Structure 1
Amino acid sequence: MVPKHDPDVWLFDLDNTLYPARCNLFAQIDVRIGRYISDWLKVTPEEARVVQKQYWRDHGTSMRGMMSLHGVDPTHYLDYVHDIDYSPVEANPALEASLKALPGRKIIFTAGDVPHAERVMERLGVAHHFEAIFDIVAGEYWPKPHKQIYEKLVKQHNVDPTRAAFADDIAVNLKPAADMGMRTVWIRTDESVKRAADINLDHIHHQTDDLATWLAEWVAERNKAERKA
Structure 2
Amino acid sequence: MGTGTDVSQTDSPEEVSFDMVDTYVLSSVNKDSQTVYKQLELQDLEAVFFDCDDTLYPSSCKVSEQVRKNIQSYMNEKLQIPTDKVLDLQHSLFLEYGTTLKGLQELYAIDPYEYWSYIHWSLDYESLIQKDSSLRSILQWLPFRKFVFTNADKTHAQKCLQALDIPEEIFEDIIDVVSVGFNNKPDPKSFLAALKIARVDNPSKALLFDDSVRNLRAAKNIGWHVVAVGNSSIEAKEFCDAWIPSLHYIPCVLSK
Q: Taking structure 2 as the reference length, what is the TM-score of the superposition?
A: 0.76
| Residues 229 and 244 in structure 2, CA contact (< 8 A), matched pair in contact too | yes
How far the C-alpha of 1:201 sits from its partner, in A, is 4.7
* CA-to-aligned-CA distance 1:162-207 (integer Å, 9 cap, x gap): 2221100112211232233322110132xx32xxx5x465430010
Is there any run of 5+ residues in structure 2 with no aligned partner, and where?
A: 1-39
The match for 1:8 is: 46
Q: Deviations over 1:62-93 (max 9, x none)?
A: 22222111121112112211021212211111
Q: Residues of 1 paired with 2:219 and 2:81: CA distance?
A: 39
The alpha carbon displacement at 1:131 in A equals: 1.1
What is the deviation of 1:60?
2.6
Amino acid at match of 1:185: V
Q: In structure 2, do the counterparts of structure 1 residues 61 and 188 end up closer, same or farther at CA, with 3 Å as the change threshold? A: same
Structure having greater relative contact order (Cα 8 Å, sep ≥ 6): 2
Matched, 1:176 2:176: no
The alpha carbon displacement at 1:12 in A equals 0.3
2:78 aligned counterpart, secondary structure: helix
What pairs up with 1:41-190 in 2 under 5 angstroms?
A: 41-82=79-120, 83-86=122-125, 87-126=127-166, 127-159=168-200, 160-189=202-231
Moved more, 91-100 or 49-58: 49-58
Identity of aligned residues (%): 27
Q: d(CA) in 2 for partners of 1:27 and 1:172?
A: 19
Look up the SS of the partner of 1:27 in the other structure. helix
Conserved 8 A contact 1:164-1:182: yes
Structure 1, unpaired ranges of 5+: 224-229
Q: For 2:227 and 2:180, how far apart are their aligned partners in 1?
A: 21
After superposition, give the CA deviation of every residue in 1:40-65 in whole Å (9 maximum; x if it has no partner): 33243222223222322333322222
For the residue of structure 2 that corresponds to 1:137, the secondary structure is coil
